[in-house]
Amino acid sequence: MVLFSKTDEKLFKIENAAPFKASAKTKKVRKILVYSKASGFKHSSIPTGIKGLRVLGYKTKSYTPTFTLDTEEFTEIGLKKYDAMIFNNTTHVQKAFTEGSQWDAILNFIKNGKGFIGFNSASDGGMTQWQEYTEMIGGCFAGHPWGAGEKWPFFLEDLNHPVNKGFANEEFMFSDEIYQYKGYDRSKIRVLVGLDSLKTDKKGISKTNDYPVSWVRSYDKGRIFCSNLGHNKATWWTSFILQHFLDGIQWALGNIDGPSNSLPQT
């Protein structure tokens, strides 16, 4: 499959920014179902995210993505052929998945040892209709004081985690839209990247200034990687972010080892 195209500017940028190979080799190429339907606010970066996830899979040969805007595959039988699922900017998933059987199929898929990866507004969903989804992913969107048009200060909360190996510096500035969360419990996730809110002129809802940006967690036998990054199109052609995304995907697939227990806030 030829992805590189100078007639598609975004694809051209993504292809050039994406890693040449995965951080870990696998005996077989994993299969991932990528769901990209927004049931609330529709981010203009969704198609760019689709291109980014396609490039990462095919360029590194680490996974084969199947893209969908439909919910039909999200059954116990439909999900059996996949090793993980990705929710790409899927605002208000509780409006798309309305049947208890779908809820059970998705959550049991992860609990039984498969992977879940969420980008940006994948965490804008669940509450209150589907509380278990919010608990699984680690929190629910409660506003974004830090808007997409400015650069914000970030820091690595886990310097040695393999999912963070793509970052050259412990602290960095980057432009994206950053969330604060309700239903968030730090003890249930391992925060990898955080927002240094004290270095901004915005005030959020956390009394301890705890604003996770990327994190991992165990969910019974399964693995979850989530990142708030991905609102801006340019995020998807930023090389160190794509490396972070790919390593997070590989971690969720079980191809990369790394802890998921919670870290105390520094």
Question: How confident is the prediction for the chain on average, in pLDDT?
Answer: 96
Kind of pairing between the strands at 115-119 and 63-68: unpaired
pLDDT of res. 1? 45
Are the beta carbons of 33 and 40 closer than 8 angstroms? no
pLDDT in tens, 13-33: 999 999 999 999 887 889 999
pLDDT in tens, 47-72: 999 999 999 999 999 999 999 999 99
- Position 236 confidence tier, pLDDT thresholds 50, 70, 90: very high
pLDDT of res. 4? 57
Buried b / exposed e over 221-240, threshold 16 CB at 10 Å, is ebbbbbbbbbbbbbbbbbeb
pLDDT of res. 32? 98
Return the number of other C-beta atoms located less than 10 Å from residue 194's C-beta: 22
Query: Looking at the predicted structure, is the pLDDT value of residue 157 above 70?
Result: yes
Query: Looking at the predicted structure, is the pLDDT value of residue 2 above 70?
Result: no
Average pLDDT over residues 163-181: 98
Domains (range + CATH), the chain: 9-253 (3.40.50.880)
- Position 166 confidence tier, pLDDT thresholds 50, 70, 90: very high
pLDDT in tens, 194-231: 999 999 999 999 999 999 999 999 999 999 999 999 99
pLDDT of res. 160? 96
Is residue 201 exposed (0-12), middle (13-18) or buried (19+ Cβ within 10 Å)? exposed
